[in-house]
Amino acid sequence: MGGRIFLIAATSMAMVTAPAAAQDDEALPDAGLMARLAADLPVRTWYPEGYYDVRLAAEAQVAETPRDLRAYVGACGGGGGQCYDPVDLLPRHIDAGESDPAVRRYGNVALDVARLAQELARAGYPAAIYEAPLLRYEQTLVEAARDDSLSAATATAALQRLATAVEANRAVQTPGLPCIMAVEDYAARVVVVRSSGPSAGAHPAGKKLASEAKITLKAGDRIELLTANGLRTLTGPGTFSVGQPRAGVLGALLASPAPRRAVGAVRGGRAPVGVTLQTNPPSGEVLMLSAFAFRICQRKNADPWDRFQCRWNEIETGVARPLSGRFVYQVRWPDGTVRKGSREIAPDQSGPVTFKKVGSR
Task: With respect to residue 199, please indicate whether it lies within any of the assigned structural domains.
Answer: no
Q: Burial level of 28, CB count in 10 A (0-12/13-18/19+)?
A: middle
Task: With respect to residue 108, please indicate whether it lies within any of the assigned structural domains.
Answer: yes
Task: With respect to residue 356, please indicate whether it lies within any of the assigned structural domains.
Answer: yes
How confident is the model at residue 207, as a pLDDT?
A: 77
Distance CA 136, CA 113 (A): 11
Task: With respect to residue 113, please indicate whether it lies within any of the assigned structural domains.
Answer: yes
How confident is the model at residue 56, as a pLDDT?
A: 94
CA-based nearest residue to 115, from 86, 82, 74: 86
Domain containing 275 equals 1-71+88-182+260-361
Distance CA 276, CA 280 (A): 13
Task: With respect to residue 241, please indicate whether it lies within any of the assigned structural domains.
Answer: no
**Over its length of 361 residues, how does the chain's per-residue pLDDT go in tens digits?**
333 333 222 222 222 233 333 344 566 777 788 888 889 999 999 999 999 999 999 999 898 888 889 888 988 766 668 899 898 877 778 877 777 889 989 999 999 999 999 999 999 999 999 999 999 999 999 999 999 999 888 888 999 999 999 999 999 999 999 999 887 645 556 778 778 888 888 888 777 776 677 888 888 888 887 766 666 788 888 888 776 544 444 444 444 433 333 445 444 444 445 788 889 888 899 999 888 889 888 888 778 899 888 889 898 888 888 777 778 999 999 999 999 988 877 666 677 888 888 755 4
Query: What is the total residue count of the chain?
Result: 361
How confident is the model at residue 278, as a pLDDT?
A: 87
> Hey, which bits of 136-254 come out as E strands?
179-180, 189-196, 208-210, 214-217, 222-227, 230-235, 238-241
How confident is the model at residue 349, as a pLDDT?
A: 66
Q: Burial level of 280, CB count in 10 A (0-12/13-18/19+)?
A: middle
Number of domains in the chain: 1
φ, ψ for residue 128, nearest 5 deg = -60, -25
Q: Which residues pair with 355 in a beta bridge?
A: 16, 279
Distance CA 301, CA 30 (A): 15
Distance CA 36, CA 97 (A): 29
Task: With respect to residue 178, please indicate whether it lies within any of the assigned structural domains.
Answer: yes
Per-residue DSSP letter, 41: S
For 243, residues 6+ apart whose C-beta sits below 8 A from its C-beta are 190, 211, 225, 227, 228, 229, 232
Give alpha helix (H) positions in the chain. Answer: 33-40, 51-64, 101-122, 127-146, 152-173, 291-300
Cα of 248 vs its chain's centroid, Å: 20
Task: With respect to residue 313, please indicate whether it lies within any of the assigned structural domains.
Answer: yes
Task: With respect to residue 228, please indicate whether it lies within any of the assigned structural domains.
Answer: no
